[in-house]
Structure 1
Amino acid sequence: MDRQTRSLLAHADHPIAAPLDDDSVGRLLTRAVVRDDARVLDLGCGSAAWLIRALGQRPGVTAAGVDVSAEALERARRAAEEAGVDGRLTLHRGEAAAFEAPHPFEAVLSVGATHAFGGLLPTLDAALRHLAPGGTVLVGDAYWEREPSRWARETLGEYEDLAGTVEKVTAEGWTPVYAHLSTRHELDDYEWNWTGSLSRWALDHPEHPDSAEALRAAARHRDEWLHGYRESFGFVCMALRRTTDT
């Protein structure tokens, strides 16, 4: 089973591919998408759950999403049609880091997709290329709430603590205008949904050739979470503006 398919199955009951509940998503979008006629771009949109939510909140907004997964984009198209916002959503298949936009956007989103760019700062560099003057970037990434184990650091990455993460961003000319730290409930709920959705699919499809592999992947992820990084892993979403627009 390829990574994209596994991710889609794991997010079946948690379409926001990040540890955020519905209220947090709505609040973050309100801070990031401030104009009724805003153009919104999501770099690494997956099934476009953020964009569909933004389009539903503001009927004058238009949006574009970029992702490498054809299956995720097809799900996005179906979800947009069901929500009645498909006429205001454009989807592009390709690498988010290589996307060339036809115009700037008042809001650029990239939550839980910094791996596609090589880290947080390269993600912000990519977002800046598409950002209209005075616009807002909404970015979500991991940080260490407390000192991680050697295994967690080597496996998940060389993240900073929260203060270091904010300092790294501000040193590059960004100013946080809002932020949300995922709560313990949001973090745990996301992991239980990820492992549970994938496990349920495997148990419901015992004859599928990928069933056993999916069940093993869910069990491995659950063990790594509980024994490897649950106590140290945090997630922050920041609404950022340029200190000086360029």
Structure 2
Amino acid sequence: MDLPRSFTIRERSHRILDPFTSEKLAILGRALRPRPGTTILDLACGKGEMLCTWARDHQITGTGVDISTVFLRAAGERAEELGVADRVRFVHANASEFVAPEPVDIASCCGATWIGGGVAGTIELLERSLRPGGVVLIGEPFWRKDPPDQQAVQACHAMSKDQFTTLPGLVMLFRDCGWDLVEMVLADEDSWDRYVAAQWLNIRTWLDDNPDDELAEQLREELDTAPLSYVTYQRNHLGWGVFALMKR
């Protein structure tokens, strides 16, 4: 059980595997005001940057779950680097099946709501690990502008226009699921650039070092097309944010 190698190649220099900068991640932490000792479960945690930096800045404790052994190894190294390895742990497991052994104060899934079959299902999954009165964090894309055609939809990594909704549509979905939206921090064009454009240099330097690898042709084609596709469609049409929810 692991992620395809192409994911770890694209994001090998990233600490945050979403269109969030470290500044926005810190803003989110300050907005939530977690007290020392707050417990967090982060499903599909990637390289664990949220848990590690919040453990350093807010003295939280937490568990991150992911299927990528490469990302989890990086998460463990980051915890050691920041001196918080005694406050956070990382588990190699299928996040869609993981439930915390004890209820947590914050249950998070940022950028991987496929683990619950969509936003509503992921909220239900996170609630299984949440204490009464706790906070759910959902990171999710939304349409900033209506995509004009299927080419635009696919350039935004969606199978159909209905795969994402608008920002008002997301807020209504949270309400209809029985949750209050109590905070949010949204990506902007700069944070999208830092996430997506950084992948191009990762791919190019990897191609230079691995010209005969079995993935070289696929990633060479991606680098040929991805920058134009991004600036034409994704940068203009797709938003992303992290939304803090509390059960009514």
TM-score when normalising by structure 2: 0.89
SS at match of 1:16: coil
What residue identity is the alignment partner of 2:130? L
- State the shift of 1:87 in Å: 1.7
- State the shift of 1:180 in Å: 1.6
1-structure distance, mates of 2:69, 2:33: 26
SS at match of 2:171: helix
Q: What is aligned with 1:191?
A: 196
What residue identity is the alignment partner of 1:111? C
Contact 1:33 1:54 (8 Å CA) reproduced: no
2-structure distance, mates of 1:148, 1:160: 11
Query: In structure 2, do the counterparts of structure 1 residues 208 and 153 end up closer, same or farther at CA, with 3 Å as the change threshold?
Result: closer
Q: What is aligned with 2:4?
A: 4
- Please say if 1:30 is aligned against 2:35: no
- State the shift of 1:33 in Å: 5.5
What residue identity is the alignment partner of 1:58? H
Contact 2:6 2:215 (8 Å CA) reproduced: no
Q: What is aligned with 1:41?
A: 41
- Please say if 1:50 is aligned against 2:50: yes
- State the shift of 1:128 in Å: 0.9
Q: Deviations over 1:56-99 (max 9, x none)?
A: 1123x211011111222122112212222112222221211100
Contact 1:175 1:240 (8 Å CA) reproduced: yes
2-structure distance, mates of 1:199, 1:54: 32
Identity rate of aligned residues, in percent? 26
Unaligned runs of 5+ in 1: none
Q: What is aligned with 1:20?
A: 20
Contact 1:33 1:106 (8 Å CA) reproduced: no
Unaligned runs of 5+ in 2: none
- State the shift of 1:218 in Å: 3.2
- State the shift of 1:200 in Å: 2.1
1-structure distance, mates of 2:34, 2:62: 14
1-structure distance, mates of 2:90, 2:128: 18
User: How many aligned positions are there?
Assistant: 241
Q: What is aligned with 2:85?
A: 86
Q: Deviations over 1:163-209 (max 9, x none)?
A: 11111111111111111221111122221112222222222333444
**Range 132-141 or range 10-19, more displaced:** 10-19
What residue identity is the alignment partner of 2:57? Q
2-structure distance, mates of 1:130, 1:73: 21
Query: In structure 2, do the counterparts of structure 1 residues 48 and 4 end up closer, same or farther at CA, with 3 Å as the change threshold?
Result: farther
Cα RMSD of the aligned pairs, angstroms, is 2.0
1-structure distance, mates of 2:33, 2:227: 35
Q: What is aligned with 1:162?
A: 167
2-structure distance, mates of 1:8, 1:120: 25
- State the shift of 1:5 in Å: 2.3
2-structure distance, mates of 1:49, 1:4: 21
